[in-house]
Structure 1
Amino acid sequence: MDWYLIGKWLHILSSTVLFGTGIGTAFQMVWAIRTRRVETIHSVASGVVVADWIFTTPAGILQPLTGLWLILLQGWSLSEPWLLASYALYVLAFLCWVPVVRLQMQIRDLADTALQTGQPLPARALRHYRLWFALGWPAFLGLLGVFWLMVAKPQFGA
């Protein structure tokens, strides 16, 4: 059994799920908010929250674990500059993602309350959305950077 190929496959799969779910749910949330329809926003935000727990969270846990496994299998130093940059970008993405999940849940809950009371979506939900959107960009760009580093493994300063 080739443990390196298994680890590499799991690492690529988890990165694909992490990135793909993130960009897919972000697109859906942006599209739903644009409608300003409470029913649509509630439905989509509910699905986005579930997708984060079912797909993003396990992939986000598996990603660094398989990365560490591959580092050890390949004999890389944990302090390789490209790895240090990867860690930093991954932490950045994680630190943006944590409040994003909370904001998604708050948007869902505010939309649910509006739906139940027959009220329009409150301005607070749109403020949450703007912060959610702003936090999504550094997370997205950070993961793009991690992808590049994962593939290129550049030798900084060499």
Structure 2
Amino acid sequence: MAYLWIKWIHILSSTLLFGTGLGIAFFMWMAHLTGDARHIAKTARVVVIADTVFTAPAVLVQFLTGAWMVHRLGAPYSTFWIGSALVLFFVVGACWLPVVWLQARARDLARIAADTDSPLPAAYMRTMRWWFVLGWPAFLGVLGVFALMVFKPAGPG
């Protein structure tokens, strides 16, 4: 019974992680497209809070519940789908951590522009380019982890 509860928590946290990440990206991008520094600053402020309150804990819960289930099942980490999911999990994390910092940087640059009634600076545009570029492998990596968890492929050979 404990396994099913942990699995349930794992599935809920993966849903939260994916849904929140997609929602955050959508609202951040839509605000960016307005070019309105005040709107961007307000949206990015909420985005940074959402990442802190929802996404970060979901990442931790994903890792802990996944590791617990692997241990409980006695499955080796060398199992193709488990090892591949872990690699993707860390790739996603390597992309996501800078994205969180970039969101905070975009927020700060937009807030300064809004407070001084100035246009968004070139540093803001560079920040958002990196945010966009790093967001894609993170998003695709999460999709890959979902596919591995559902299909559990045996791997090559």
TM-score (norm. length: structure 1): 0.96
- Cα distance in structure 2, aligned partners of 1:78 and 1:107: 38
Partner-residue secondary structure (3-state), 2:135: helix
- Cα distance in structure 2, aligned partners of 1:3 and 1:142: 28
Match of 1:44 in 2: 43
- Cα distance in structure 2, aligned partners of 1:145 and 1:118: 43
Q: What amino acid sits opposite 2:38 in the alignment?
A: E
Structure 1: which 5+ runs fail to align? none
Match of 1:93 in 2: 92
CA deviations over 1:14-68 (Å, ceiling 9, x no partner): 1111111111000001100000011110011111100000000000011010001
Q: What amino acid sits opposite 2:52 in the alignment?
A: W
- Cα distance in structure 2, aligned partners of 1:44 and 1:121: 15
Q: Does 1:118 align with 2:112?
A: no
Identical amino acids, percent of aligned pairs:
50
Q: What amino acid sits opposite 2:21 in the alignment?
A: G
CA deviations over 1:76-129 (Å, ceiling 9, x no partner): 112211111101111110000111011100100011111111111112111100
Report how many aligned residue pairs link the two structures. 157
Partner-residue secondary structure (3-state), 1:118: coil
Match of 1:34 in 2: 33
- Cα distance in structure 2, aligned partners of 1:123 and 1:45: 17
- Cα distance in structure 2, aligned partners of 1:3 and 1:151: 20
Q: What amino acid sits opposite 2:82 in the alignment?
A: L
Match of 1:137 in 2: 136
- Cα distance in structure 2, aligned partners of 1:51 and 1:32: 15
- Cα distance in structure 2, aligned partners of 1:157 and 1:35: 46
Partner-residue secondary structure (3-state), 1:126: helix
TM-score (norm. length: structure 2): 0.97
- Cα distance in structure 2, aligned partners of 1:69 and 1:3: 11
